[in-house]
Structure 1
Amino acid sequence: MAGVVVVGSQWGDEGKGKITDYLAQKADIVARYQGGNNAGHTIEFNGQKFALRLIPSGIFSGNDVILGNGMVINPKALLEEMKYLNDANISTDKIMISDRAHVILPYHLEIDEIQETRRGANNIGTTKKGIGPTYVDKYERIGIRMGEFIDEELFKERLQEVFVSKIVQYPELICNAKEIFEEYKEYAKIIAPMVCDTGVILDECLQAGKKVLFEGAQGTMLDIDYGTYPFVTSSHPGANGVAEGSGIGPLYIDEAVGIVKAYTTRVGSGAFPTEIEGELANQIRERGHEFGTVTKRPRRIGWFDAVVVNQSRRMSSLTGISLMLLDVLSGLKTLKICTAYNLDGKIIKALPSTIKQLNKVKPVYEEMPGWDEDITKVTSFEELPENCQKYLRRIEELINCPIVIFSVGPDREQTIVLREVFK
């Protein structure tokens, strides 16, 4: 068995797509286990750039790809993404969709927006893609799953049943059940051949010794339990989400690779202890192209936070780190690493559970000298400037985890592997 999971280990947007794409070339099958089209992956190779929202990055390597049961899937968005790939001569014939994945429907998107409006100044800052409301339906046991969606009679019955309760809760809804059914039953006909029990397929692959790559969306600081609640997503982005989101057990996972930036970013509202503002933040944002793949919102910028990454390591049992966008820091005279937090005069090294406390913490920084050299063409650790090497080694010490990959640019070729993760 060879199961490797790629885990976003900050607030998302760390560069998971690039590493998943890179590792997918060594895998037999790639499976995504949570989230929906509220987060994206940007992949660059051979001078081309692609932005994916639902389909695993392994699609570019010709792998079988799975959309697991832990995902929430907007059928219309999925078909649009497939067309986008097909128009670029990328085949989507190897997509498999779990019959237990939940379906995002138009009322979920409207409810998402209504809820954000009702929250007023306390809004979460969601992407309004209907993700949260669909997960709510899942746990209220009124959601519509793919297996039901592709059965026309059952879909119609379930939709009418659910929609009655939605109108009572949200009289502002504009959509109606009849129009949704007429439009979405056509999507279901196209999607139906892709729908199957993907948990069985993954089990067969792993039992046969095939290499399986598991891919999540967002980052562990958006985990519904251990992230900066309530400014989180509605699922488990870390390796802790693989088992429940793909239908296989945790012992199938051999390696968990945490993807982190050489600094930190965050999109949307919520606590961000190491946040930088002003000219320096703008400089890093522009150099790192820090704008959301899906939302295009400018990302908030901060120094590397070892407290955050340590929490991610613990949650996901990380076996290694892939450090991304190291080249963005070239030219900075001084770098800072957050080693702990000061909360009301007490030094702590774990995230508090409440927003009140998170908003009060002050980062404890360690400063290190930067480097001026262009590192975008290096091919080994030894070629990095001395100060850059020291920066990486210090991060390893602080997070108790080795760096197994680092990246010095967006292209596949700018990925330096220090230890292979597929055995």
Structure 2
Amino acid sequence: MPAVVIVGAQWGDEGKGKATDLLGERVDYVVKPNGGNNAGHTVVVRGEKFELKLLPAGILSPQVTPVIGNGVVVNLEALFEEIDLLAARGVDTDRLRISANAHVVAPYHQTLDKVTERFLGKRAIGTTGRGIGPTYMDKAGRLGIRIQDLFDESILRQKIEGALRQKNELLVKLYNRRAVDVEETVQDLLAYADRLRPMVVDTTILLNDALDRGEVVLMEGGQATFLDVDHGTYPFVTSSNPTAGGALTGSGIGPARVSGVIGIVKAYTTRVGAGPFPTELFDEDGERLQRVGHEVGVNTGRPRRCGWYDALMIRHAVRINSFTDIVLTKLDVLTGLEQVPICVAYDVDGVRHDQMPMTQTEFHHAQPIYEMMPGWSEDITACRSLDELPQAARDYVQRLEELAGCRISAIGVGPDRADTIVVHDPLGQRAR
């Protein structure tokens, strides 16, 4: 039985958690393959809101085995804090499994993240300050600490000594901070080892054995396509590959086992942090989208930048990820607008672009060219079929589907798990 991937198609915060949770009742494993506690999800189940930062959304489905894959960077303090908060609310977290090859966010990674951002000044990336980037830098630089290292004190100490030999020079001589103590860091991390040990497995074997048994594995990508370190709006990106290809690398599942890639698309566009954003709004419409859509970062509490739907971005995301289906979220937020603009092209210094520009310079200077669609005023939160939507809302959805070149299989019309119109089953025969 093949695996299924869920990927954000914009700059994150599209509603991937809700989509994963909606499908989670029909799958056996839900894997988080990349990112860390910088990539949160808000999931509403029967009116109860859960804010997940590091754990896969599948943790909320009792029959699902949630898995933190090898591509994730794990802040252990944040992990156990989140586990304890869910347990206090009656959520069973004993099924959680963590890859032995996942990397650990050490305290010095967070320190470096914050001082580096301050040092960059106006050129700051807008990171969450959670140490994610520096941890991925150590992973690529072969200075990283993996989960399995916590079970070998000698190896752990050697790795921390090697990493801090360089980092303390930076902290003291460049950033005027005190040096990080090796032994203190070792003991901080070892304190989690006993509690962590029962959760740690070879997740590549775990997941491939599950597929061999005919069970369904859902990979839930963090962040989104345009935060991908290769395909995103570099350098204003994350440090991993939150695209479909990255989900496979971060899970240890081969591409031939994937039967579907589901893109999650918000009915408008939002972004957290710095970077170019052609359709960004600085007027009452932008404030309205932020207010009605409750556009505040789950992890940071920062208001999200808001703008109209960008069809060029979605078409490019379809291309990069090979989406088989799109789940459109937050259509209800557009209710009450007289007209709803769709960005269908860019003007870059007088030249029309119908595809994403090749260079970051061109994208930075892109001005949106809009196609106007009629709005609707009817409340759509109780709609459960396309026929129940107002005609203008149906026309908007149909136009987005045409521009994307990919079918829209489900439409979110409210925050709760049940507030969804299913047009086509995005899992099809891929789930029980």
Q: Which of the five TM-score ranges fits, normalised by the shorter chain?
A: over 0.9
* Cα distance in 2 between the residues matched to 1:335 and 1:173: 53
1:136 maps to amino acid: M
Displacement after TM superposition at 1:177 (Å): 1.9
Q: Offset of 1:353 from its aligned partner?
A: 4.4
Alignment of 1:116-265 (within 5 A): 116-171=117-172, 172-173=177-178, 175-265=180-270
Letter of the structure 1 residue corresponding to residue 101 of structure 2: R
1:173 and 1:404, CA in 2 relative to 1: closer, same or farther beyond 3 A?
farther
What is the distance in 1 between the residues matched to 2:405 and 2:338? 26
8 Å Cα contact 1:274/1:304 also seen in 2:
yes
Q: In structure 1, how many angstroms separate the alpha carbons of the residues matched to 2:46 and 2:345?
A: 41
1:335 aligns with 2:340: yes
Q: Distance in 2 between matches of 1:353 and 1:270?
A: 16
CA distance in 1, matches of 2:76, 2:178: 20
Residue in 2 aligned with 1:28?
A: 28
**Match in the other structure for 2:43:** 43
Matched residues in 1 for 2:352 and 2:71: separation?
Answer: 37
Structure 1 moving runs of 4+ over 6 Å: none
Q: Report if the CA contact (8 A) 2:168-2:179 is conserved.
A: no
Task: Give the C-alpha shift of residue 188 in structure 1.
Answer: 1.9
Q: In 1, are the aligned partners of 2:21 and 2:60 still within 8 Å (CA)?
A: yes
Q: Are the counterparts in 2 of residues 107 and 173 from structure 1 also a CA contact under 8 Å?
A: no
For residues 22-76 of structure 1, what are the alpha-carbon distances to aligned partners after superposition, in whole Å with 9 as ceiling and x for unaligned?
Answer: 1011001111100000120011112211101111011111211110011111111
Map of 1:300-319 to 2, 5 A cutoff?
A: 300-319=305-324
Aligned partner of residue 92 in structure 1, secondary structure = coil
Residues 248-327 of structure 1: pairs in structure 2 closer than 5 A: 248-327=253-332
Is 1:65 matched up with 2:44? Answer: no
Aligned residue for 2:418, secondary structure, equals helix
For 2:75, the equivalent position in structure 1 comes to 74
Q: Aligned partners of 1:349 and 1:249: how far apart in 2?
A: 34
What's the secondary structure of 2:230's corresponding residue?
Answer: coil
Q: In structure 1, which of residues 408, 415, 419 is the aligned counterpart of residue 413 of structure 2?
A: 408
CA distance in 1, matches of 2:137, 2:279: 32
Matches within 5 A, 1:82-93: 82-93=83-94
Tell me if 1:345 matches 2:350: yes
> SS of 2:154's equivalent?
helix
How far is the alpha carbon of 1:194 from its aligned partner? 1.0
Q: Distance in 1 between matches of 2:337 and 2:248?
A: 41
Name whichever of 75-84 and 172-181 sits farther off.
172-181
Query: 2-side partners of 1:15 and 1:287: how far apart?
Result: 15
Matched residue type, 2:143? I
Cα shift readout 1:116-175 (whole Å, capped 9, x = no counterpart) = 112111000000000000000011111111111232232122212221221122222554
1:276-315 deviations in whole A, cap 9, x for unaligned?
1121111111111000001111111110001111111111
Is the deviation greater in 5-14 or in 147-156?
Answer: 147-156
Change (3 A) 1:14 1:173: farther
Match for 1:364 among 366, 369, 380?
Answer: 369
CA contact (8 A) 2:168 2:180 kept: no
Deviation at 1:81, TM superposition (A): 0.7
Q: Give, in angstroms, the shift of residue 416 of structure 1.
A: 1.5
Partner of 1:7: 7
Q: Which amino acid aligns with 1:223?
A: D
The answer to whether the aligner puts 1:52 opposite 2:52 as a matched pair is: yes
> Take 2:77 and 2:356, find their aligned partners in 1: how far apart are those partners?
38
Number of residue pairs aligned between Structure 1 and Structure 2: 423
Question: Any idea what SS the aligned residue of 1:4 has?
Answer: strand
Q: Distance in 2 between matches of 1:254 and 1:292?
A: 31
Find the residue that maps to 1:129 and give its secondary structure.
coil
% same residue: 46
CA distance in 1 between partners of 2:179 and 2:234 (Å)? 30
1:107 has 2:90 as partner? no
| Structure 1 unaligned blocks of 5 or more | none
Find the aligned partners of 1:360 and 1:173 in 2 and give their Cα distance. Answer: 42
Matched to 1:265, the amino acid is T
User: Which ranges in structure 2 are unaligned for 5 or more consecutive residues?
Assistant: none
Q: Aligned partners of 2:388 and 2:414: how far apart in 1?
A: 15
In the other structure, the counterpart of 2:385 is 380
My pick for the range that moved more, 167-176 or 26-35, is 167-176
Q: What is the aligned-residue RMSD (CA, Å)?
A: 1.1
